[in-house]
Chains A and B, each alone.
Chain A
């Protein structure tokens, strides 16, 4: 293990580390454009030049290996001059159209220039004109003038998505990033090139001109799009959401988890946030006898639901009640459902697995066919049984009252059974086919509006955090269930998800490891 000195501080690093990584271990950030830890080393932007004692020339820290006894400076005058001149060179043909650029505020050209810039331009020539605002795929817009040719995007398409849409064409200062002939940037991971583009050359079509990035707040979360459980950040804005037609969530970005998704996420997950602000059930609903659903209030709906459950329990015992929980729910919610319905009421019929839900698209990278974030969690909690039998019992009248969480039963077979069921309670986030046949509707919160954990397909327990308040009158499922439990006379006193987690997992969220924890066969 080589030990070296960077800016006077000593550090020991793994053999094979480069100087840039060694500096990072000391919290020294070396400016860079082309370097990305998830891609091969290009060494072309020349921003990460550092001075190393006994070396005649500056060296690029992304390429040079850390060696024993090296003395490195990342902030010497020579280094700063080189950095300043690289920035000057990069701006030679850059349009400086920051006022209309979406990258403004999170642009590494801006950021580094603020640190070491030329400030007074001495470029008197005409800039090279190139193509601007070119849609190159369903999600990405290309601006060749803003591009600094770091080639992160082309390397991503060659090495990670392996779809080879983008290349660097021509040469010298006529070089441009563009699509290969007759190609479209439509691979399932295309959005990642937006994240890794250090400047405004590749921006997101969906996010374009929606919100300045400095108006965004960020919360750490887990993508609920499939059972991979990619670590993400939710970028949201609640103060200006009227400008976006009420849309609070502006975009999702992947968050590094070396064990799960590294730096990446798929487009399906990235752009699958619309349901959070769209088509939501905003208030409790009750169906008049043989009539339509009508907006009600929490007191009335919970009263009707608890009375229904209590009466059924008294008259028919726990066999009269069926519960269809959802692998979309968190471990904490499922734990609470199990506690209330199975342990307190004695209900036997609790399932989560929807037999009509087809396996979705799956690949050998991130995307899983199971589009639920917590199927494994449900399984670990013993709630993974098939729900068809429960629906059949509801249809045949054995189950008198059916409590369904989140599921959208679209198939004609399920619809028919639901139609024959006695009393259906729906608790979930969005209007769907199940809601249409329900008697009582309890509007729940989306994953962006609550705390909790999901267990991904390989058994990794990961925490997601609340970014937003539950929309309108909707409430977190834990709050709904706790209130209901109290109405039913069970001593449920949980204040929040973490209290349940502590009871279930024995630790606080803070104590959960940063990148999640593998269950390793522990059942609770």
Chain B
């Protein structure tokens, strides 16, 4: 029996504020659990009962949510909690080594608390969205990296003593001369941009001002003509997405900004939110006005605590200064914007998984049709746009559709942020016109492969995208060209692998992620991702069989086009490409029960 739980009077007040953000109590599930978690450090059965009662939902619903998301602890953790990112980009930069060091240093295994209770740690298979500082870890609220064993020791010591951890400023690679144009990344690295006054002095909110003087229909047309496509991953034309929203249902129309950035290798939205929160808010105003929306939610992944704090501050400032609220920018247009934190689940980046989560449920994607534009949040028509997509809107409004469409090197409009990571000299976020070549991104902007090694493979659009090889380097980074190359632009996360990377291990790392993040709702994904991960682990550990390779190819077929959402398709696209393009490496593993890449490395070093 756990001891009884009551919210402190301060938190009771905060709970009331949380409730006020939603049209029903249930939607307050995640924030209420976050609040209890903050008060007590973990969620006990007593908390579950209190939350069920407060939100008037069955206990079973609270328990489902609690066990679905990874950020809620169900037993006490250390005074400081460390999350070491084990996802692909960090792994490429040596997170395995850091994991061993952390385990030895703390003397407890992942998931456990040190004897003095000061630390607990876990090695997480999901990407924490900071691949530019790989290998990295999260210490309580803050991200730290790149890590070395020595750096880990310093961080632990400083944390234990309650000292400020001095972190080197993030590598400012975004201001290189080579970048021809910056529409949305110009404020990166400049913390002044977080202030409303400064932002306005630079011409901020002028795009929104302009929008508010136009007819909504004109805005939709302009965005359509600008050729802006969804930059979260799917690449759907934004203007068309808006035009699907029925205006005559008499129901509230909602906007949700998808800030659940979790595709391994992707960290661009975090940059946008941390450096330029008002740009996102301005984009939200434009979209809201264009579609007739008066309530917007920003669904931000739970791990992005700093970004959430910065955004929250910006929202509050915007309300204070009349940028949001009853009269947006002094015009006869009302708009409320609420920040909603996720709680650790990749699937909530899938738009209907996000809606479920926002409604206070586990993030099980919905069956489609109906599509969210018609039946979305709380059963109402809903626009879901990615943070970067929304952030592109102000400039489109200010400078026009033709100008924006003309920027790209391909027939899709504008620029996009490429998050470059892995075995590359200058990892970071680079804003480039759509259609820039992969080679230019890696060699001109990223400085080439780390240690001047041979490039072996590149993931061009996040872990779900099929892997490309050296010979694909001249592909232009736009939606259609990459699709033609058998992959996808996805989230714009470009992950570079050098000649020393074992492709079996790389593939295993990615499938561990998908197996961990599969929501478990539908059969092919739930069972397929886990099974494929097991097969890859077995091959990597020298117990593969010759049949495994063909079996993997067939499993990829069976996992494609058969599931509720695209997670399974993405996973299949990914591992199928590794097996196909690096078949000989898989065969070597199976036949010789060891890794030829590792062997070569050892031979060279010896």
Measuring CB to CB, which residues of chain A are less than 8 angstroms from any residue of chain B?
41, 43-47, 49, 56-58, 60, 63, 81-82, 85-86, 88-90, 92-93, 122-126, 128, 148-149, 154, 157-158, 164-175, 180-183
Please give me the 7 A-B residue pairs with the lowest Cβ-Cβ distance, nearest first: A175-B520, A164-B58, A180-B60, A85-B558, A173-B530, A89-B527, A125-B534
Which residue on chain A has the smallest CB distance to residue B363? A171
Cα distance, A175 to B515, chains bound together (Å): 12
A174–B63 contact, CB under 8 A? no
- Judged by DSSP, the binding face of B is helix
A149–B520 contact, CB under 8 A? yes
Chain B residues positioned under 8 Å from A124 (CB to CB) = 535, 538, 545
B522–A122 contact, CB under 8 A? no
Contact A85 to B60, CB < 8 A, known contacts A43-B564, A44-B564, A171-B519: no
Q: Between A and B, how many residue pairs show CB distances below 8 Å? A: 126
Cα distance, A123 to B554, chains bound together (Å): 13
Which residue on chain A has the smallest CB distance to residue B569? A57
Cα distance, A170 to B519, chains bound together (Å): 9
Chain B residues positioned under 8 Å from A60 (CB to CB) = 367
A167–B520 contact, CB under 8 A? no
A173–B563 contact, CB under 8 A? no
Which residue, of A81, A165, A173, has the highest number of chain B Cβ atoms within 10 A?
Answer: A173
- Judged by DSSP, the binding face of A is loop
Tell me the B527-572 residues at the A interface (CB within 8 Å).
527-531, 534-535, 538, 545, 547, 551, 558, 561-564
Chain B residues positioned under 8 Å from A181 (CB to CB) = 45, 48, 59, 63
One of B45, B345, B529, B538 near A173 (C-beta < 8 A): B529
Chain B residues positioned under 8 Å from A90 (CB to CB) = 523, 527
B558–A89 contact, CB under 8 A? yes
Cα distance, A500 to B63, chains bound together (Å): 58
Which residue, of B48, B517, B558, has the highest number of chain A Cβ atoms within 10 A?
Answer: B558
Chain A residues positioned under 8 Å from B61 (CB to CB) = 164, 167
Chain B residues positioned under 8 Å from A170 (CB to CB) = 67-68, 520
Q: Is B389 an interface residue (CB 8 A)?
A: no
Contact A92 to B527, CB < 8 A, known contacts A85-B558, A167-B61: yes
B59–A180 contact, CB under 8 A? yes
CB distance from B347 to the nearest CB of A (A): 8
B67–A173 contact, CB under 8 A? no
A164–B561 contact, CB under 8 A? no
Cα distance, A166 to B517, chains bound together (Å): 23
Q: Is B526 an interface residue (CB 8 A)?
A: yes
A58–B526 contact, CB under 8 A? no
One of B48, B67, B518, B522 near A44 (C-beta < 8 A): B522
A173–B518 contact, CB under 8 A? yes
Tell me the B485-544 residues at the A interface (CB within 8 Å).
515-524, 526-531, 534-535, 538
Q: Is B362 an interface residue (CB 8 A)?
A: yes
Chain B residues positioned under 8 Å from A157 (CB to CB) = 60
Chain B residues positioned under 8 Å from A125 (CB to CB) = 531, 534-535, 538
A123–B562 contact, CB under 8 A? no
Which residue on chain B has the smallest CB distance to residue A49? B562
A175–B526 contact, CB under 8 A? yes
A46–B551 contact, CB under 8 A? no
Q: Is B64 an interface residue (CB 8 A)?
A: yes
CB distance from B534 to the nearest CB of A (A): 4
Cα distance, A88 to B555, chains bound together (Å): 10
Which residue on chain A has the smallest CB distance to residue B554? A85
Cα distance, A44 to B518, chains bound together (Å): 13
B527–A93 contact, CB under 8 A? yes
18 extra interface residue pairs, beta carbon distance < 8 Å, beyond A125-B534, A157-B60, A168-B520 = A43-B367, A44-B564, A46-B523, A57-B561, A85-B558, A89-B527, A90-B523, A92-B530, A124-B545, A149-B526, A167-B63, A171-B518, A171-B519, A172-B518, A173-B518, A180-B60, A181-B59, A183-B60
CB distance from A243 to the nearest CB of B (A): 38
How many residues of B are in contact with the other chain, CB < 8 A?
41
Cα distance, A126 to B519, chains bound together (Å): 21
B558–A172 contact, CB under 8 A? no
Contact A167 to B60, CB < 8 A, known contacts A172-B517, A173-B518: yes
Cα distance, A173 to B535, chains bound together (Å): 15
A44–B523 contact, CB under 8 A? yes
Contact A122 to B558, CB < 8 A, known contacts A169-B67, A172-B530: no
Chain A residues positioned under 8 Å from B362 (CB to CB) = 168, 171
Cα distance, A126 to B529, chains bound together (Å): 15
Which residue on chain A has the smallest CB distance to residue B58? A164
Cα distance, A41 to B370, chains bound together (Å): 13
Contact A164 to B59, CB < 8 A, known contacts A171-B519, A174-B520: yes
Chain A residues positioned under 8 Å from B523 (CB to CB) = 44-47, 86, 89-90, 148-149
Cα distance, A55 to B14, chains bound together (Å): 49
A44–B63 contact, CB under 8 A? no
Chain A residues positioned under 8 Å from B528 (CB to CB) = 89
Chain A residues positioned under 8 Å from B517 (CB to CB) = 172
Contact A171 to B345, CB < 8 A, known contacts A46-B523, A122-B547, A181-B63: yes
Chain B residues positioned under 8 Å from A49 (CB to CB) = 562
Contact A86 to B524, CB < 8 A, known contacts A43-B564, A172-B516: yes
Q: Could you list 22 A-B pairs, sorted by A, with CB under 8 Å?
A: A43-B367, A43-B522, A46-B563, A63-B367, A82-B558, A86-B524, A89-B526, A92-B531, A123-B531, A124-B535, A124-B538, A125-B534, A128-B530, A164-B60, A164-B61, A167-B61, A167-B64, A173-B530, A175-B526, A180-B60, A180-B63, A181-B59
A41–B526 contact, CB under 8 A? no
Cα distance, A122 to B551, chains bound together (Å): 8
Which residue, of A93, A124, A170, has the highest number of chain B Cβ atoms within 10 A?
Answer: A124
Cα distance, A82 to B516, chains bound together (Å): 24
Which residue on chain A has the smallest CB distance to residue B551? A122
Chain B residues positioned under 8 Å from A168 (CB to CB) = 64, 362, 520
Which residue on chain B has the smallest CB distance to residue A168? B64
Chain A residues positioned under 8 Å from B521 (CB to CB) = 44
Cα distance, A170 to B522, chains bound together (Å): 14
Over the window 286-302 of chain B, the binary record of Cβ atoms lying under 8 Å from chain A Cβ atoms (1 yes, 0 no) is 00000000000000000
B60–A166 contact, CB under 8 A? yes
Chain A residues positioned under 8 Å from B563 (CB to CB) = 46
Cα distance, A81 to B48, chains bound together (Å): 43
Cα distance, A149 to B545, chains bound together (Å): 30
Chain B residues positioned under 8 Å from A169 (CB to CB) = 63-64, 67-68
Cα distance, A158 to B60, chains bound together (Å): 10
Chain B residues positioned under 8 Å from A166 (CB to CB) = 60
Cα distance, A412 to B59, chains bound together (Å): 46
Chain B residues positioned under 8 Å from A82 (CB to CB) = 558, 562
A172–B526 contact, CB under 8 A? yes
Contact A89 to B68, CB < 8 A, known contacts A167-B63, A180-B58: no
Cα distance, A90 to B531, chains bound together (Å): 11
Chain B residues positioned under 8 Å from A43 (CB to CB) = 367, 522, 564
B561–A58 contact, CB under 8 A? yes
CB distance from A55 to the nearest CB of B (A): 10
Chain A residues positioned under 8 Å from B538 (CB to CB) = 124-125
Which residue on chain B has the smallest CB distance to residue A123? B531
Chain A residues positioned under 8 Å from B367 (CB to CB) = 41, 43, 60, 63
Cα distance, A90 to B523, chains bound together (Å): 7
Chain A residues positioned under 8 Å from B68 (CB to CB) = 169-171
CB distance from B355 to the nearest CB of A (A): 16
Which residue, of A158, A166, A167, has the highest number of chain B Cβ atoms within 10 A?
Answer: A167
Cα distance, A154 to B362, chains bound together (Å): 14
CB distance from B266 to the nearest CB of A (A): 21
Cα distance, A182 to B347, chains bound together (Å): 29
